[in-house]
Chain A
Amino acid sequence: TAGITQAPTSQILAAGRSMTLRCTQDMRHNAMYWYRQDLGLGLRLIHYSNTAGTTGKGEVPDGYSVSRANTDDFPLTLASAVPSQTSVYFCASSPDSSRQYGYTFGSGTRLTVV
């Protein structure tokens, strides 16, 4: 089934450790996004990529980094996790960055930093 695959589904991570959340799509979408969702705070954009080879900062980028080496993959890395990064992380994609299309979301990664 076409769509976005995220891994892992959930993870418990010790504070100070690093981790990479994986995101792969097979729809050949140019634009990809990473959001975090916290209760009462809705969906907040962390980083985005309008096309392979380019990335940009969203609303809450501190403590996170991304890369976009090809069209399909958009990993999110936490260099040194802190408890405030406990959240549900969603990867999303769109055909392009024109804002003329809806987003397709992955199933999410539930991360707990202890």
Chain B
Amino acid sequence: GENVEQHPSTLSVQEGDSAVIKCTYSDSASNYFPWYKQELGKRPQLIIDIRSNVGEKKDQRIAVTLNKTAKHFSLHITETQPEDSAVYFCAAPSKTSYDKVIFGPGTSLSVIP
């Protein structure tokens, strides 16, 4: 079946370093790409999104870049802090169902103080 891939599945960085998580999707008609953060025991929360008419979007220490040709988009976190430790999910529209999205399997980020 269709899926949305995320890499890596786990990521450990030193505080202050950068982290990059990549998400690959299948539907070339997709035009909205969100990233969610889920802290341990909490709900997923939308942290940043991008639409297909731009290649990059920034919000303070986080950014998302989009490569529509290669069908992937990436989450960039700079100057990581311990509170960035969480599971991050990407999502992309389903290729087979016009009204559903597919979530990636998640990337567990650990920021080591």
Q: Chain A residues in contact with chain B, CB under 8 A?
A: 31, 42-43, 45, 48, 50, 56, 58, 90, 97, 99-108
Contact = CB atoms under 8 A, between A and B. Distances in A.
A102 B104 contact: no
A45 B1 CA distance: 15
Interface residues of chain A: helix, strand, loop or mixed (majority): loop
Contacts, number: 45
A42 B105 contact: yes
B43 A107 contact: yes
Interface residues of chain B: helix, strand, loop or mixed (majority): strand
A104 B45 CA distance: 7
Contacts of A97: 99
Interface in B27-46: 31-32, 34, 36, 42-46
A56 B105 CA distance: 23
Contact of A104 (B46, B89, B105, B106): B46
